[in-house]
A and B are shown apart, each in its own frame.
Chain A
Amino acid sequence: MMFSLENITNSIHEWLYANLNATLALIIEFAIIGVLVIGLFAALGLVLIMMERKVSSWMQLRLGPNRVGPGGMFQTVADTIKLIVKEGMTPDRVDKLLFNLAPFIVMVIAMVVMAPIMFAKGFQIWDINIGVLFVLAVSSISVIGILIAGWASNNKYSLLGAMRSGAQIVSYELSAGLSVLAIVVLSGGLRMSTIIDAQQTGWWLFKGHIPAIIAFVIFIIAVTAETNRAPFDLAEAESELTGGFHTEYSGMKFALFFLAEYVNIFVVCAIGATLFLGGWMPFHIGNWQAFNHVMDYIPSSIWFFGKTFLLIFIIMWFRWTFPRLRIDQLLQLEWKYLLPISMFNLLLATVVAIAGWHF
């Protein structure tokens, strides 16, 4: 196809290397990627916050934002401008260096995790051979940013929120990792492109039988917890800890936390879409040639973003339905339910993979 992202990136790449020396071309590519990632970040923040507000208002019989722009579309833009203009306050008696550093740590980690994600066919920043492992490893660093924020704020609410968040993210890493591992076992590779290619004949959710379905459910629950979303939003727990770890933050520093939360949701949902729903692969049904052909005409980027936003919607649906868990119940859910089930599930997946019972 003419406008496939793969062709565009390839032609830019070839043009740069043909006209400039290799080092300069690489630096220019870095710059382009950096700008694109930051642009995607801003766009995602605006779109996802808008989506969250609309989803919540529709579930709550409300109208949602409808004043700024047509249908309230520019509400988040207006909010962002307000947050940028707002004074970036640093309270007295906080650890000033760490306090100002924390939002950037959280933000940068959310950006780095984007590297191995395949946004469309052949459109990827870095097809690292340990892609999945890279994502799991880097995303668990974000807890450090939250811990720093809570500690540096010198506020009891923040401290409690940060400590909760630490316990929570460390625990849920396990079952998220194990459920991802089930898919790695099935597809036989850690590289993102390998996993997607393995789903050429069908998405893992469908052809992986029971282990893939269990892994998918556990993955969704675990990443909801990992991104500190309700019903696992104990780190901020509005009705208990007012704002949790970001109680003391305001203005743009708060906005960075907020943005990082939404970008994290996007990233984990993108991983989920890649692992379980075939990434950019179109939806195919066995021998229905005509149907499959029509599906192929839909660009791969639309497939990818469609699946990702579907998962994001599910996570938002959770948030506007469920009450919040208590900290001990949260850990109990992980250690008594999710972890044993996902360990057993990994075993099952291994058996299925070795015996070749999947399609």
Chain B
Amino acid sequence: MYRETEVIQTIPGTDEMVLNIGPQHPATHGVLHLVITLNGEIIKKVEPHLGYIHRSIEKMCESLSYRQFIYSTSRMDYLSSHINNHACALCVEQGLEVEIPRRAQYIRVIMDELTRIASHCLWWGAMAMDVGALTPFFLAFREREMINDIMEETCGARLTMNYMVPGGVMFDLHPNFVGRVKHFIAHFKSKIDEYDELVTGNIIFQNRLKNIGVLRPEDAISYGCSGPTARASGVSCDLRKHMPYEIYPELQFEEVLDNGGDSFARYLVRLTELRQSMHILEQLIDDIPEGDFQAKTKAVLKLPKGEYYQPIETARGEFGVYIVSDGSTTPYRIKFRSPGFSNLSVLDHISRGQKIGDLVAIMGSLDLVIPDIDR
């Protein structure tokens, strides 16, 4: 029996109390469990507890063939599923040493950038929602829905596409694809200014994010942050520039950097990346070369004995696929380096001394996808 008079208790000897945020909480975007120690509104410590959505994908992949395991990576970072699949395909191709047709490379890069835009759109809406504005979420979904429709037409699915296969892509582009992407670019260009008007310029929004959750460059490096999170601290880490894959070296785009390190810098970096991705799409969409969309590969793939690692720049940062092959049809060991895990680890460091409301804003600006963290 519970005692009638049992009330909220503080940690003995201090004025601090422990508050559980999650696993079911509107701010955590999934089943993340944060145990935070509070002194009034001030955060003293944040302890993320993981494992609520652990599906043992790495172990599962060990019993799947090199064609089969790719689909499961869509279920990790479901917002950049194309890019995850791309990394797996690249890693297998590295072992097979096959030449990817240029058309396939173009298609892959276009799909990656579309995925990045879709992911950042969702992040933008969710970020504004975390901070308390609800309308931007629907505006972001208007654009994201257009990309989803394009994906659905060409890849056959809206979220977990499984479009990349070792050697190229699964199908050729749909005849409507180019037209629809062009229409999307024109549409999005007119709408992205609305994003700025509604949210970026808003003084409440700026005050909520500026100087909140400051991540210094050295901390970003030592915690292993990557992607927009690290680039907002001035760490140049865009793998599309530094370890280029596919046709990225031929493309004109800038690595978006910001020296602020705070939540607002992370916000601005992502928003600028949206524009850069559009710039990349514009360069590619007009002259997709003719040719095969898939290289000829054997029906049963076998990687030569050895170790293969392929990092790739997802919407959240560096996603790495590490395959150890013993020469058989299934990988001996697969390890995924997910960007969300490292980006989450910095949460405690940057949110100490901030308020509860800031914690939510910081989590929004880190752009966490929980299945990516737990795998």
Contacts and interface: CB of A to CB of B under 8 A. Distances in A.
Direct A–B contact present (CB less than 8 angstroms)? yes
B79 interface: no
B81 to A, nearest CB: 26
Interface in B237-271: none
Interface residues of A, number: 34
Given A92-B2, A323-B202, A233 B134 contact: no
Residue in A61, A93, A237, A239 with the greatest tally of chain B CB atoms within 10 Å:
A239
Nearest to B3: A93
A4 B17 CA distance: 59
A160 B134 CA distance: 22
B157 to A, nearest CB: 25
B126 to A, nearest CB: 10
Interface string A164-196: 100000000000000000000000000000000
A79 B110 CA distance: 46
Contacts of A160: 41, 356
Contacts of B128: 323
Contact of A239 (B17, B19, B26, B204): B26
B132 A324 contact: yes
B138 A61 contact: yes
A155 B131 CA distance: 23
B7 A327 contact: no
Given A60-B138, A323-B132, A329-B208, A156 B19 contact: yes
Contact of A93 (B2, B17, B199): B2
Identify whether the interface residues of A are mostly helix, strand, loop, or mixed: loop
Contact of B357 (A61, A92, A321, A324): A324
Contacts of A156: 8, 17, 19
Contacts of B189: none
Interface residues of B, number: 37
B63 interface: no
A327 B132 contact: no
Interface string A311-330: 00000000011111111110
Contact of A327 (B26, B41, B133): B41
A242 B127 CA distance: 16
A247 to B, nearest CB: 11
A241 interface: yes
Nearest to A62: B138
Given A239-B360, A323-B204, A231 B355 contact: no
A154 B6 CA distance: 9
B196 to A, nearest CB: 14
Given A239-B360, A242-B25, A242-B26, A326 B208 contact: yes
B90 interface: no
B169 to A, nearest CB: 33
Contact of B8 (A159, A233, A234, A320): A159
B142 A320 contact: no
Interface string A218-247: 000000000000110110011111100000
A60 B7 CA distance: 41
B27 A240 contact: yes
Given A56-B134, A323-B204, A240 B356 contact: yes
B135 A324 contact: no
B139 interface: yes
Interface string A264-286: 00000000000000000000000
A38 to B, nearest CB: 32
A238 B26 contact: yes
Nearest to A154: B7
Contacts of A238: 26, 132
A194 to B, nearest CB: 38
A42 interface: no
A329 B210 CA distance: 12
Given A92-B2, A239-B26, A323 B41 contact: no
A163 to B, nearest CB: 8
A78 B355 CA distance: 39
Contact of B355 (A61, A62, A327): A327
Residue in B2, B3, B204 with the greatest tally of chain A CB atoms within 10 Å:
B204
A328 B134 CA distance: 22
Contacts of B205: 323
Contacts of A60: 134-135, 137-139
B19 A233 contact: no
B357 A237 contact: yes
Interface string B184-207: 000000000000001100101101
B161 interface: no
B273 interface: no
A6 B2 CA distance: 58
A93 B134 contact: no
A325 B204 contact: yes
B358 interface: yes
A320 B360 CA distance: 19
Given A93-B7, A322-B132, 8 more contacts: A56-B134, A93-B3, A239-B27, A240-B360, A321-B133, A323-B128, A323-B199, A326-B208
Q: List the 3 closest pairs (A to B, CB-CB), nearest first.
A: A324-B132, A60-B138, A323-B131
10 contacts: A93-B3, A159-B8, A234-B357, A242-B26, A323-B133, A323-B199, A326-B207, A326-B355, A326-B357, A326-B358
Interface of A: 56, 59-62, 92-93, 154-157, 159-160, 164, 230-231, 233-234, 237-242, 320-329
